[in-house]
Amino acid sequence: MAVCLQAGSILLRSGAETSRVEETIARLARAAGVDRVDTFVTLTGIFICLEKDGTSLTRLTRVHEVGTDLQRVTEVNHLSRQFVRGELSLSEIQERLMALENRRPLYHPLLRAAAAFVSAGSYGFLMSGNWRVLLSSALGGVVAHLVSQWNTGGQGGNFLRVFLGAMIGSSAGVGAAFLDGGPGRVGQIVVGATIPLVPGVAVTTAIRDLLSGDLLSGMARGTEALLTAVAIAMAVGLVLGVVL
């Protein structure tokens, strides 16, 4: 039960679709010799009921702060397959899951900021073919990414972080354009600067959940992605309203 809950929690917090979480839990439980396993996964919680030799055990765990870390998803999948094949014992997989959960993020914050710089700048250049737009968009993208990582202490959650990131990042990009000689292509700069905040993985996972029949989780993820898009739109509208 402990291994199933831990593996499921890591997967769900890392952005895995609910069908993958449920399948992984079921495979782990059956490989451990459980006679029957029932699991129900939502965006914020995991319910598991295990039965063996007529004795049942039910547990619930809450999941907070769902993000995106596909490397962790891959590693949990690999560990579960090793356990099913008998290459790991129950204590070994529990130890590795604990180490994975406590491990620092794979990519250094500076590398993630550099990725935001490249993605925002590339999109700005793609839309304009202008090197000045590239630099302004890239600057705005880095600022937007850094602000969106700010810990709000639970106040406003992801919506507030994305809103502030989009607003300050767009302002930084537009400000850089003004310092360079004028507003120029403000719209293209703002779009490029907010690209790192677009919830692409959330939208994809929501669609996969809906197609898999997990309507509750699919609607929840879709709503979260929609709110993120609304936060970006509100922030960009505010910036453009002031500038234009």
The tens digit of pLDDT for each residue in 166-207 reads 898 888 888 877 765 555 678 788 888 899 888 888 888 889
Domain coverage including residue 53: 1-102
Separation CA 240–CA 184 (nearest Å): 13
Copy the structure tokens of residue 31.
């490989």
Same domain, 114 and 222: yes
Same domain, 150 and 221: yes
Copy the structure tokens of residue 156.
């406003």
pLDDT band of 42, cuts 50, 70, 90:
confident
Residue at a domain's end among 69, 102, 135: 102
Same domain, 34 and 139: no
Residue-wise pLDDT for 213-235, tens only, equals 888 888 888 888 899 999 999 99
Same domain, 92 and 128: no
Same domain, 151 and 236: yes
pLDDT band of 1, cuts 50, 70, 90:
very high
CA-nearest of 128, 126, 241, 119 to 184 is 128
Number of domains comprising the chain: 2
Residue-wise pLDDT for 87-127, tens only, equals 999 999 999 999 998 888 778 888 989 999 999 989 888 87
Same domain, 76 and 114: no
**What pLDDT is stored for residue 180 in this prediction?**
59
Residue at a domain's end among 38, 72, 102: 102
pLDDT at 74 > cutoff 90: yes
The pTM for the full model equals: 0.78
| Sequence-ordered alpha helix ranges (H) in 85-108 | 90-102
Q: What is the dihedral of CA 9, 91, 30, 213, to 10 degrees?
A: 10
Separation CA 11–CA 17 (nearest Å): 8
Residue at a domain's end among 102, 118, 151: 102
The residue to which tokens 């579960």 are assigned: 80
Same domain, 98 and 209: no
